[in-house]
Structure 1
């Protein structure tokens, strides 16, 4: 069996599939730095005295800030399904290169553009960055599905997705340090652009869209991956998309719901931490950066704790894969929900930091609990599922900061922030509850390459003999009447 395969049959202990995981990890870091640094940049731009006063300061109110923070998702929501088309036709390598390079170039021109057009132009640039980065996660899941042996899928996928937590961490920490330096807040955009371009060069050299077309993979490792995925012929086949089956799938609907809940809660916390600490506890951006990044340090650590926990439970057969993922997802969403209920009521900065650290740090398990569920349901259609999933969930990403802008009309009013946090807690709770009831990690029937041939409601599978070979065919009622070559039972 595959699980008993000797090490030498898997190729080198550190193979090209591991290189792909490292590249995906770095890709998430560079793109999430570009995505998240706006929450720190906006504070620096509107309070220059707290950073480097040699650069312009803008008189933007909370509504302007909420538009800037949400505008990324205006574009992000539009290109998720487009990512499906691009990735299926051109492969994951050019798709991810386009996503990252486009976002990097926009980062490079951000300081100059803001000087010319203010917050409105900043919103426009963030929207365009969202358009490019909308290609990212669907393509990443397609890349993981093609490069991960089934036995290693959870581990390799989780390691790749820790780039999210690392990117969030660096996206909060590094901009604050740069804003204090002689480069000021414009240096934040320049750093993000340079880091992204460096990744693009690595991607061009070392990445390939699949093991089948890889120039660097060894024959042993290639055989191991394809055998695990039951693709022994080594051929790339474009499979028709079973739209009806996908859109009526209960496990997929459950995945969409839990991701909406997760994105709403995390989006609120990620975008509002700097403003909340500054408005309620009067922390300057130096303190703000330290305390804002602390939860992401805990999140990164907890992600690896969850990964080890999952490996132990699976190896000892304590839980099934479905049970492991539901358990981890419950820890990662219900503990933060409890912390969020308390966050809006505390009146001490220390208590707020502790609860904020818990609510964000513990949620790192979501990437393991539900983050890879699309590949579990259908590796063949992972890019399609993620295109649909991210299109829907990006609406939550867009609405969360706008919701804050509507509710928080007075930034110093703790009761208004309380509404924001309690709403996120309820979304977390009910989102995970339905995931426990309806989700699954079982590969769905519509993942099969032959599903569109044999699973139509108005057709029946039949067998006919062609040159002494049994061939699976589908016939509607009319074709069955006219075909006399059907084998009789």
Structure 2
């Protein structure tokens, strides 16, 4: 028996010497799966705006729910498998309602999703989210034709509810799989799916809409891809290294030693009181609010500015739309490598690295927005400013967005759900504030005020993060360790317990 134990120990030592941190491991495989999940999710999220262009042709006929013109010609045509496809007479406010309905569901389930990720694990949660998206997306064309815009909005709410689980699920998974010295690169690779999903989503959606598959093909395509990702998650994802059937003992030990905990505490109750009293959480939330607010301005309002003031419809040019996102995806890798090296080489502490990355993202982005307000009517200059802004703003993801994992790897998903919910809730007022300022959408001075507000959000929230932010690991992240009983004192403990039982029996007699 002892020989077997010694042999196993020698095998573990040999395996540990063969393990190379720089090599490809199962932690990287998990990151790739999570990256694919987020890429498809963001493509599905961004496809609706382009799809509506192909789906709608508003004419004032007093009916904004039925198709303008559509005649069924057989079963396949009634199921919208073959052309012609229905075109809907939806007013602009109806189209905006369908787009907004996704975010109603997305915000509603944010906080519960973090708790679900912690309780049931990311494998079940993300698989369920992608499979729900698969079914709803495939059925969307039929539901839209027979149920009008109301049923299409309900379908988008269901997709929003399911995708609310993705960000907390990703953060929970990274909290279990991302070692400190690789956290920036692994997190940046996964969250790079946000930018790449938008880059791929817009042209793919337009291509399918103009193909023989028509606009129903958009939703069937994303439904099938979402289902494929769901199967990939179910068969290849694992909640933690300890639950992966193929991971080596050396890689598992490396990850758990870096995180300072093992998977045995995965099902612990969430310490809500301690989480809500932690100042680091509020620094993250405040920075998240500023980042989301300015991002909505950059993505939603800037195209209108370029159309009404600059005289350039950026949405009509796929390259102009995709280029800033593509550059952002590439610079994402540089900033992630840089922040990891600052930590690995002990140039900066983890806390100061996060603050530096957050400032590196927010300050140049604020400068970009201010520059946009004074830019001449030259599309090349405007596009260069947008590329500059997006190229740097992604660095903030290596600041506040990774910070949850630094503070509490075991509750990263729960903390992400809190900050994501509050940031989206506060940033939802951004279009309202913009509408209040823009009494004349062609007035450049009013647009300057919009950009100044967003730039101020970047700068003020970053300042708060720099002042009160922290990346120190919270003491409540790990469960209290059971105190081992001293073997020498064990007989005395047993004797005292025996005397107590004897006294109790005598008193009962």
Please give the TM-score of this superposition, normalised by the length of structure 2.
Answer: 0.79
In our comparison, the structure showing a higher alpha carbon Rg is: 2
Map of 2:31 onto structure 1: 21
Map of 2:361 onto structure 1: 332
Map of 1:263 onto structure 2: 292
Specify which of 123, 138, 161 is matched with residue 108 of structure 1.
138
**Structure 2: unaligned runs, 5 residues or longer:** 1-14, 59-82, 491-509
Specify which of 475, 478, 483 is matched with residue 445 of structure 1.
475
Q: CA–CA distance in 1 between the matches of 2:431 and 2:18?
A: 51
Cα distance, 1:66 vs structure 2: 4.4
**Structure 1: unaligned runs, 5 residues or longer:** 454-462, 471-489
The correspondence of residues 70-109 of structure 1 with structure 2, limited to 5 A, is 70-109=100-139
Cα distance, 1:174 vs structure 2: 2.5
Report the count of equivalent residues. Answer: 451
Structure 1 residues 114 and 429: CA distance shift in structure 2, 3 A: farther
Structure 1 residues 30 and 226: CA distance shift in structure 2, 3 A: same
Map of 1:253 onto structure 2: 282
Map of 1:212 onto structure 2: 242
Cα distance, 1:71 vs structure 2: 2.8
Structure 1 residues 216 and 406: CA distance shift in structure 2, 3 A: farther
Q: CA–CA distance in 2 between the matches of 1:345 and 1:58?
A: 39
Map of 1:149 onto structure 2: 179
Map of 1:240 onto structure 2: 269
Map of 1:420 onto structure 2: 450
Specify which of 50, 56, 60 is matched with residue 91 of structure 2.
60
Q: Deviations over 1:279-334 (max 9, x none)?
A: 55565687432211111011111111212322343344332222222122112111
For residue 77 of structure 1, give the secondary structure of its aligned residue in structure 2: helix
Structure 1 residues 422 and 71: CA distance shift in structure 2, 3 A: farther
Is residue 185–residue 337 contact of structure 2 (8 Å, CA) maintained in 1?
no
CA-atom RMSD in angstroms: 3.2
The correspondence of residues 374-413 of structure 1 with structure 2, limited to 5 A, is 374-404=404-434
Map of 2:460 onto structure 1: 430
Structure 1 residues 85 and 324: CA distance shift in structure 2, 3 A: closer
* Higher mean C-alpha deviation, range 76-85 or range 413-422: 413-422
Q: Deviations over 1:56-111 (max 9, x none)?
A: 264533x5454444332211112122223322332110101111221232222333
Is residue 69–residue 271 contact of structure 1 (8 Å, CA) maintained in 2?
no
Cα distance, 1:368 vs structure 2: 1.2
Specify which of 398, 401, 409 is matched with residue 371 of structure 1.
401
For residue 319 of structure 1, give the secondary structure of its aligned residue in structure 2: coil
The answer to whether residue 41 in structure 2 is matched with residue 31 in structure 1 is: yes
For residue 427 of structure 1, give the secondary structure of its aligned residue in structure 2: helix
